[in-house]
Structure 1
Amino acid sequence: MITSQFVSRISLQRDKVDSFDRYPFALPAIRALEQIDLHPKMTILVGENGSGKSTLLEAIAVALGFNAEGGSRNFNFGTRASHSELHAFLRIARGVRRPKDGFFLRAESFFNVATEIENLDAEPMAGARVIDGFGGRSLHEQSHGESFLTLMTQRFRGEGLYILDEPEAALSPQRQLAVLSRIHDLIAEGAQFIMATHSPILMAYPDARILQLTADGIEEVAYEDTEHYLVTRNFLANPERMLRVLLSRDDQDD
Structure 2
Amino acid sequence: MYLHEITLLKDKIRNPKEYPFSIPSIRTLGTLKLRKNVTFFVGENGSGKSTLLEAIAYQCGFNTAGGSRNNLFELAASEARLGDYIRLSWLPKINQGFFLRAESFYSFANHIDEIAKEDPRIYRAYGGKSLHEHSHGESFLALFQNRFGRKGIYLLDEPEAALSPARQLAFLSIIHELQKDSQLIIATHSPILLGYPDAEIYHFDEPPIRPIPYEETSHYQITRRFLENRKAYMKELLD
> Please, what TM-score do these two structures have when normalized by structure 1?
0.90
8 A Cα contact 2:116 2:122, kept in partner: yes
- Asked if 1:170 is matched to 2:165, the reply is no
Give the partner amino acid of 2:116. D
Show the counterpart of 1:15.
11
Aligned equivalents of 1:198, 1:243: Cα separation in 2: 21
Show the counterpart of 2:102.
107
8 A Cα contact 2:160 2:168, kept in partner: yes
Show the counterpart of 1:213.
204
- Asked if 1:247 is matched to 2:230, the reply is no
Give the partner amino acid of 1:116. H
TM-aligned CA deviation for residue 219 of structure 1 = 1.1
- Asked if 1:57 is matched to 2:53, the reply is yes
Show the counterpart of 1:70.
66
1:47 to 25, 43, 46: 43
TM-aligned CA deviation for residue 97 of structure 1 = 5.6
Quote the sequence identity (%).
50
Give the partner amino acid of 1:243. M
Query: Tell me, which stretches of 5 or more residues in structure 1 are unaligned?
Result: 249-254
8 A Cα contact 1:24 1:84, kept in partner: no
Show the counterpart of 1:252.
none
Give the partner amino acid of 1:224. E
Aligned equivalents of 2:236, 2:36: Cα separation in 1: 42
Query: Quick one: structure 1 residues 55 and 137, their matched pair in 2 at CA, closer, same or farther if it must change by over 3 Å?
Result: same
Query: Quick one: structure 1 residues 149 and 93, their matched pair in 2 at CA, closer, same or farther if it must change by over 3 Å?
Result: same
Secondary structure (helix, strand or coil) at the match of 2:222 reads helix
Aligned equivalents of 2:165, 2:58: Cα separation in 1: 30
Deviations 1:83-127 (A, max 9, x none): 24200011000112636x41111100011111111111223x5xx
8 A Cα contact 1:120 1:130, kept in partner: yes
8 A Cα contact 1:70 1:106, kept in partner: yes
Correspondences of 1:23-34 after superposition (within 5 Å)? 23-34=19-30
Show the counterpart of 1:118.
113
Give the partner amino acid of 1:152. F
Show the counterpart of 1:153.
145
Q: Could you say which structure has the larger radius of gyration?
A: 1
Deviations 1:5-34 (A, max 9, x none): 211110000111011100001000000011
Aligned equivalents of 2:227, 2:238: Cα separation in 1: 16
Aligned equivalents of 1:59, 1:180: Cα separation in 2: 25
Aligned equivalents of 1:40, 1:177: Cα separation in 2: 20
Aligned equivalents of 1:75, 1:158: Cα separation in 2: 16
Secondary structure (helix, strand or coil) at the match of 1:235 reads helix
Higher mean displacement: 161-170 or 215-224: 215-224
TM-aligned CA deviation for residue 228 of structure 1 = 0.3
> Please, what TM-score do these two structures have when normalized by structure 2?
0.96
Higher mean displacement: 79-88 or 137-146: 79-88
Show the counterpart of 1:134.
126
Aligned equivalents of 1:48, 1:84: Cα separation in 2: 19
Give the partner amino acid of 1:172. S
Q: What value does the CA root-mean-square deviation take over the aligned residues?
A: 1.4
Show the counterpart of 1:196.
187
Secondary structure (helix, strand or coil) at the match of 2:185 reads strand
TM-aligned CA deviation for residue 129 of structure 1 = 2.1
Secondary structure (helix, strand or coil) at the match of 2:25 reads helix
Query: Tell me, which stretches of 5 or more residues in structure 2 are unaligned?
Result: none
Aligned equivalents of 1:31, 1:47: Cα separation in 2: 15
Higher mean displacement: 72-81 or 62-71: 72-81
Show the counterpart of 1:184.
176
Give the partner amino acid of 2:134. Q
Aligned equivalents of 2:76, 2:151: Cα separation in 1: 31
TM-aligned CA deviation for residue 130 of structure 1 = 1.6
Give the partner amino acid of 2:99. F
